[in-house]
Structure 1
Amino acid sequence: MMTNTQKHKTVTIVGTGVIGVGWITRFLANGFDVIATDMAEGAEERMRAGVEQAWPYMKERGLADEASTNRLSFENNMQKAVKHASLIQENVPEREDIKREVLAEIDRHAPEDAIIASSTSGIMPSTLQQDCNNPERVIVAHPFHPVYLLPLVEIVGGEETTQSTIDKAKTVYKQIDMKPLVIEKEIEGHVADRLMEALWREALHIVNDGIATTEEVDAAIIYGAGLRWAQMGPFMTFHLAGGEQGMRHMLKQFGPALELPWTKLKAPELTDELKEKVIEGSEIGAGDLSVAELDKQRNEFLVRLLDLVEEYWPKPQTIMKDE
């Protein structure tokens, strides 16, 4: 978290849906001034309610000395909202045409030295910066829900993005207690979402083929791989699976199995029957708990889990560069 001696900054959050509210909460909790803007009717009321709901978890994690929800202001006019920000975080709907138009408008009115970041989960920055007069300051900064708790942010520069923009962005995101992962080569879906998408496709095939229910698939992750993944990723997991010789033995012993057609990389057709299986299974899995109650349970779990993760990480061999 930031200290009193850290330079104070102002950020603007464009789009105040679930991801936007997550960014707002995280910046506020780390002592920033936040200007939010969204033209949707009732946006300010929903935004403030979302921040209020998330704030107790930030208190539990630890607030910066200057942290206050009073540092949040709302501006209906996006042009005015971006005029004094050092970073503008865009969170409008995941449509290329909308994002390009909004980012170009932000670029026309933001300060010359401001960073312009998109939270897009799939669009490449080179595409997003095409209509901007200053494309060198446009990046992707893709977070994960809930943004106020999960620390990973994928930073991706486009063809026109400068290294100084990447470096400045890393500094800002570290100031709000995030783990910036700079992706050197842009690709649709970046890194983490592509990995999750592969698992999601395979899960849909397993349910569609009647091999397991949605609850059984979830249980397979919760009580198996998921427990390990909270501490280490797939490569380190398999390194340990190789015994004393680590990954060298693992690849020799189990590598040939990779050629077996266990998985189906192409997604199954999302038929009405499959949709109903997934919907009904998810509702059964939720039981009597509402989405709001499940959300609360997840947040409480993540707060406790993050404490445990931080106890064991970072290790001497750090994941992130320049940590």
Structure 2
Amino acid sequence: MSAPVRTVAVVGTGVIGASWAAHFLGRGLDVVATDPAAGAEERLRADVAAHWPTISRLGLVPGASPERLTFTTDVAAAAAGADFVQENGPERPEVKHRLFAVLDAAARPDVVLASSSSGLLPSVIAQGCPAHPERVVVGHPFHPPHLIPLVEVVPGERTSEEAVERAMAFYTAAGKRPIRLRHELPGHVANRLQAALWREAYSLVDRGVASVADIDTAISQGPGLRWAVLGPFANQHLSGGAGGIAHVLEHLGPPTEAWWRDLGDPTLTPELVAKLVDGVAAELGGVTTDELAARRDAVLHTLLVAKARTDLP
């Protein structure tokens, strides 16, 4: 029987790690963070302070406080005192292997080692854990983790069912919406879905069909609004009226298959990259990244509050 999670080790405190730390603190957990970079603690505390007003508006659990954050440069010490480990290091197998070897030796055997990796397979990551590879999972969040509920829990070839269940239970208790993958594959689920859309979006720009700004508008002012409420299958079901998704597949299935055959297969040439970069710059018209993120997060906050008042999936 594993102990309840009271302390989370956040390993790596860049953009994702800092957001995770703020989220866990907002859920009333103790967080011990670690990062070898110079000035990492100061940046982390500043990031947590910047995220705290948004987290507070979403609702803090009793006892939640930034004061429950501690920092150490000793990865082993951070893992030794943790009930759950959320790793956020660079997306390079050799780095993961070195890091997980330390985590594997230091953490209690019942502690789940979860990686935020957006694309690496958990079986590859677990190669760095000679003692207990059965407790390694991918726990992939979506940026920013302190706002976006989704976490993809991906077991590897040697991951135990108990470790998967503990990860799912922990993320659920921490206010996330975890999904479990039945098979590991590069990019997991949500990133592969995004990649499919980006592939056609890049192709449309490359072929001169539409501008970067027009494609962003087509999504943000069109299907993206519905996707923020319901997923693609539920939305497709609604579009079929009384017949639901069965009617859609019967009547629009053949045309959709024809569209699939006509989808582009772009290559990120220097010319296409320049078109995309210049197109985004023209679309934003001087709006800074920080300004854009603040506007996005304000709308996300409103949306999340509204969704919490419904029983939509």
- Shorter-chain TM-score bucket reads over 0.9
- 1:227 counterpart residue number: 225
- 2:36 counterpart residue number: 39
Taking a change above 3 Å as real, the CA distance of residues 205 and 83 of structure 1, as seen in their structure-2 partners, is same
Match of 1:281 among 279, 282, 291: 279
Give the residue type in structure 2 aligned to 1:191.
V
Distance 1:190 1:196 in 2: 11
* Equivalent residue runs for 1:149-228 within 5 Å: 149-228=147-226
- 1:130 counterpart residue number: 127
Secondary structure of the equivalent of 2:61? coil
Question: What are the Cα deviations for residues 123-155 of structure 1, in whole angstroms up to 9, with x where unaligned?
Answer: 111111123120111101000001000011011
Once the two structures are overlaid, the 10-residue window that deviates more, 152-161 or 263-272, is 263-272
Question: What are the Cα deviations for residues 168-224 of structure 1, in whole angstroms up to 9, with x where unaligned?
Answer: 112211121101111121111111110011001111101111111110000000111
Q: What is the CA distance between 1:230 and its match in structure 2?
A: 0.9
Identity percentage over the alignment? 43
Taking a change above 3 Å as real, the CA distance of residues 165 and 262 of structure 1, as seen in their structure-2 partners, is closer
Unaligned runs of 5+ in 2: none
Is residue 91–residue 117 contact of structure 2 (8 Å, CA) maintained in 1?
yes
Distance 1:100 1:266 in 2: 37
- Are 1:14 and 2:11 matched, yes or no? yes
Taking a change above 3 Å as real, the CA distance of residues 207 and 140 of structure 1, as seen in their structure-2 partners, is same
Taking a change above 3 Å as real, the CA distance of residues 261 and 182 of structure 1, as seen in their structure-2 partners, is same
Unaligned runs of 5+ in 1: 1-6, 319-323
Distance 2:6 2:265 in 1: 44
- Are 1:140 and 2:152 matched, yes or no? no
Distance 2:105 2:224 in 1: 44
Is residue 171–residue 177 contact of structure 2 (8 Å, CA) maintained in 1?
yes
Q: What is the CA distance between 1:248 and its match in structure 2?
A: 1.3
Q: What TM-score, normalized to structure 1?
A: 0.92
Distance 2:157 2:263 in 1: 29
Question: What are the Cα deviations for residues 249-296 of structure 1, in whole angstroms up to 9, with x where unaligned?
Answer: 111101111331456667522122211211111112222321111111
Distance 1:120 1:264 in 2: 32
- Are 1:95 and 2:92 matched, yes or no? yes
Distance 2:262 2:189 in 1: 19
Give the residue type in structure 1 aligned to 2:206.
N
- 2:59 counterpart residue number: 62
- 1:78 counterpart residue number: 75
Question: What are the Cα deviations for residues 24-76 of structure 1, in whole angstroms up to 9, with x where unaligned?
Answer: 00000011110110111111111111111111000100111111101001101
Distance 2:297 2:241 in 1: 35
Is residue 92–residue 98 contact of structure 1 (8 Å, CA) maintained in 2?
yes
Give the residue type in structure 1 aligned to 2:295.
Q
Give the residue type in structure 2 aligned to 1:76.
T
Equivalenced residue count is 309
Distance 1:194 1:51 in 2: 30
Once the two structures are overlaid, the 10-residue window that deviates more, 269-278 or 16-25, is 269-278
Secondary structure of the equivalent of 1:47? helix
Distance 2:38 2:163 in 1: 34
Is residue 11–residue 75 contact of structure 2 (8 Å, CA) maintained in 1?
yes
Once the two structures are overlaid, the 10-residue window that deviates more, 282-291 or 178-187, is 282-291
Once the two structures are overlaid, the 10-residue window that deviates more, 203-212 or 288-297, is 288-297
Distance 2:141 2:287 in 1: 27
Give the residue type in structure 1 aligned to 2:124.
T
- 2:299 counterpart residue number: 301
Secondary structure of the equivalent of 1:299? helix
Taking a change above 3 Å as real, the CA distance of residues 219 and 179 of structure 1, as seen in their structure-2 partners, is same
Taking a change above 3 Å as real, the CA distance of residues 67 and 149 of structure 1, as seen in their structure-2 partners, is same
Q: What is the CA distance between 1:234 and its match in structure 2?
A: 1.1
Is residue 150–residue 178 contact of structure 2 (8 Å, CA) maintained in 1?
yes
